Structure 1
Amino acid sequence: MYQLVEVATSLVWAAVVWLWVSLPAALVYLVVDLLMSIRRPHFVDVGRYTVGVCMGPRPKFLFGVAFTRYNGHARISGFEVLIWRHSLMVCALLPRDEWAAFQLSKAQRRAAMEKGEDR
C-alpha cells in the first residue's frame, strides 16, 4: 500500500511539473525520483552492454566514464552519471574485438547442449 501511495504522489507531482513547466521537466523529475528510490543494485544485460543503478559511498553529482581492466590495462568501458549517492551506468561487458568470439563460443555451447539433449 505504501509503495502505491508513493507512486501516486510521484505521478501527481510530475503532472504538476508538466502543467507548470514542461513535459521534459516532468520526465526528468520522474527519472530522478525513480533513481532516488533505488536502495540496492539493479543491472540488466542488453546485448554487449549492461545497464544498471547502484549506490555509491559519498554524495556527489557528476558525469563521467566507467573504467574496467582487461588484461591488466584500464580501458573506458562505459558512461556513468552520479546523482547524490546513486550511480546510473552503461558499461560494455567485453571489448568489441572479444565480443564476436564470445558470441561464437556461446552459440557452439548452445548447439552442443541441444545435441546432447536430443540423445
Structure 2
Amino acid sequence: MNPHEPSRAYRLGELACDLVVAALLWWLFSSITAIVFFGLTRLRAVRRHHFLDWGRFTAGVIVGTHLKFLFGVALTRYASGGGVCGLEVLIGRHSLIVCAFATRDEWEAFERRNAERRAALKKGGDQ
C-alpha cells in the first residue's frame, strides 16, 4: 500500500460524509444542487487516471498539475488538420475528457480489419 494513499476506511468515511451533505442539500435546496456537489466531491477524490472505452469513444479523468477552470476541445494529433475529437473540462487538477479514438472512416477500416483477422483465426482454428 502506498503511504501517500488514504486508507480504505478513510475513503469510505469521506464518501459517507459526502452522501450526508448531498442528502441535506437535496432536502434543503434541490436535487441539482446535491448532484453537482456530489459529482464535484467525487471528482476531487480521484487520485489516478481512469478511462472507460465504448467502441471508438473514450471518457475519463486525468489528474494533473493544472490549477484552472476551463472548457475546451481535445484535438486529434493524427488528423491532417488536427481536427476536434472531443470535449475537455478542467476543474482544478482534474481534467474530464470525452473523445473519439479515430475518425469514423478510420474506425470503420479498423473494425473491418479486425473482423477479417477474427475470421482468419477462426478459419485456421477449424482446420
Query: What TM-score do you get using the length of structure 2 for normalisation?
Result: 0.86
Question: 1: CA distance between counterparts of 2:33 and 2:79?
Answer: 43
CA distance in 1, matches of 2:42, 2:121: 40
> Distance between the aligned counterparts of 2:79 and 2:36, measured in 1?
38
> Which amino acid in 1 is paired with 2:122?
E
* Match of residue 65, structure 1, among 73, 76, 82: 73
Structure 2: gaps (5+ residues): 1-8
Answer 1 or 2: which has greater strand percent.
Answer: 1
Question: Within 1, Cα distance between the matches of 2:69 and 2:62?
Answer: 14
> 1:14-33: CA deviations, max 9, x gaps?
10111111101111111111
Equivalent residue in structure 2 for 1:6, among 14, 19, 23: 14
Q: How far does residue 71 in structure 1 lie from its aligned partner after superposition?
A: 4.8
Partner of 2:86: 78
Instruction: Count how many residue pairs are aligned between Structure 1 and Structure 2.
Output: 119
Among 97, 100, 108, the alignment partner of 1:89 is: 97
Aligned counterparts of 1:16 and 1:115: Cα–Cα separation in 2: 61
State the AA in 1 paired with 2:105: D
Aligned-CA RMSD value:
1.4
Moved over 4 A (4+): none
Percent identical pairs in the alignment equals 50
The residue correspondences of 1:10-21 to structure 2 (distance < 5 A) are 10-21=18-29
